[in-house]
A and B are shown apart, each in its own frame.
Chain A
Amino acid sequence: MRETVLRPKSSRLFRELNSVLTVMARDVTLLFKSPGSLIMSLAMPLVMMGMIGGNLMQNMASGLNFDFGGFMLVGMLVNMLFMMVSMNMTSLVDDHEIDFNQEMLVSPVSRYSLVIGKILGATVGAILSMAGTLLVGLFMGITLPIGKLLLFLLLSPLMCLAGGAVAMLLIGLIKSKRAANMAVTLITMPQMFLSGAIIPINHSSGLLMVLSRCMPMTYCLDLARAIVYAGSEEYESVVLFNPALNFAAIIALTTICLSLGTFFFARSEKSR
């Protein structure tokens, strides 16, 4: 018998980062092998931005003291990231159904690396949808200045991580595809309205305000709008919080959701 022995790399950091990349690369490979997923990623912007956004613009834009088109485009971009990441995270349920989670969970890497890898894999599809949203916006005559768009793009992986962490709270516990699809609706619809993606939430109060303040998407949206509206007269009407507060809230809420989601996921696979 010929002998080739592969030994693991000694650096723990290398192994963890490599596992994040590996899990992410698998999801990207699967995305590009699945024409249906690709079409879905590109069709979503047509529905969300073109139909819902277009209708809102025609009927709600008048009487506001800011440009509703720009407001909604930023909202749709962040919403698209959160929505598509959540939808793509349901692949965890597929992995459970084909027993592939066993293969991942028995590997000697942190469960956080596995979950972050899944979220980053889901991010690629979400960024495709975001690009589609920008394109639909362009056709509708709504654009963002290049510099601000680049800043937004820089922040988009953090926003996807936040969206994926929220999705993990529910999807990590679910073992059937049907329930996972319902969970995605349960996550994405309230987020879209409560966080102010398409309608301002300046006057929200009571429980609705509390809920909106608990959602990482609220702070992601507000941070994105703070970037886009920086230096404009509309800034005060559109932006709710200080960008530093937004950033800190995103980090804190993402950490909490990611920790709980990962814990629930690992526990639900192991505790039967």
Chain B
Amino acid sequence: MGSEKKAIEVEGLVKRYKGAKGQAVDGISFDVRQGEFFAFLGPNGAGKTTTISILTTTLSKTSGQVRIAGFDVEKEARRVRERIGIIFQQPSLDPNLTAEENIRFHACLYGLCGYRPSFKLMPAAYRQKVMELAEVVGIQDALFRPIKKLSGGMQRKLEIVRSLIHTPELLFLDEPTQGLDAMSRRSLWEYIDETRRRYGTTVFLTTHYIDEAENVDRVCVVNKGKIAACCPPEEMKKAVGFDPTPKVCLPSLEDAYVAFLSRMNGGASA
């Protein structure tokens, strides 16, 4: 569980896209504590990616207050950007560069090392870090291949390496395991757990694989732009009538989540 210091503070956040009739995010408020593992769940179109985009400074808000590590996302955007790492929902790699060139570009933009025109000329610490991370997600052999020749899963792994290279205080994961095989998913979560333990990294996760949120500190369910619930997973299970300490079979968070959303949406399937 995280400390009492706030990593994310959101107050009355509203986002209305240009020309849209409704609000994609409708006055939501929540906090995430430093070091907390926080899941932001909801059905398609609920406002998860919109929220994560505002939190990561890539989208402007309509109204409300958002602070990341104590810094205002609009007035102090650069300070926010220094502290965060992101895996976007859509891949954001340059397909014409090699995997390593994509990582190098990121590392240099974050000021981790001066730009050099080849991997061999980069500082030893950079080369070591790249190889370490590549080993964790199993892409050592693909590092020097062009992105367009890598599978979707390999590209996702590369994005993970890229997002972690600057050891961010706060990691935003927008459906990070989409397209990954079971082994890669497991190794990714092991690595993220290790990163959290070692550096106290706060993790903000959106996912449609509800089992990935089973071990989070808190779950926030968003539905039609509003927060429907924000509590530890066990409380959510209780809220939908599951006994959190059953003697025979423990219900999964996914069961509780589906039941909860069905109830919210008048019995319709989530």
Contacts and interface: CB of A to CB of B under 8 A. Distances in A.
Interface of A: 1-9, 14-15, 18-19, 21-23, 25-26, 29-30, 33-34, 95, 98-100, 102-110, 269-272
B22 interface: no
* A-B pairs with lowest CB-CB distance, top 6: A15-B111, A108-B81, A107-B109, A22-B108, A8-B111, A6-B112
B17 interface: yes
Q: Which of A1, A6, A7, A95 has the most CB of B within 10 A?
A: A6
B61 to A, nearest CB: 10
Contacts of A105: 57-58
B59 A106 contact: no
A107 B106 contact: yes
Nearest to B113: A6
A6 B165 contact: yes
A8 B109 contact: no
Interface of B: 17-18, 56-60, 78-79, 81-82, 84, 86, 88, 90-97, 101, 105-115, 117, 125-126, 128-129, 132, 136, 165-167, 194, 198
Contact of A106 (B18, B86, B93): B86
B150 to A, nearest CB: 14
A144 B124 CA distance: 47
Given A26-B105, A33-B96, A269-B58, A14 B91 contact: no
Given A99-B92, A100-B93, A106-B58, A19 B165 contact: no
Given A1-B198, A33-B96, A108-B81, A9 B88 contact: no
B245 to A, nearest CB: 34
Contacts of A8: 82, 110-112, 166
Contacts of B106: 103, 107
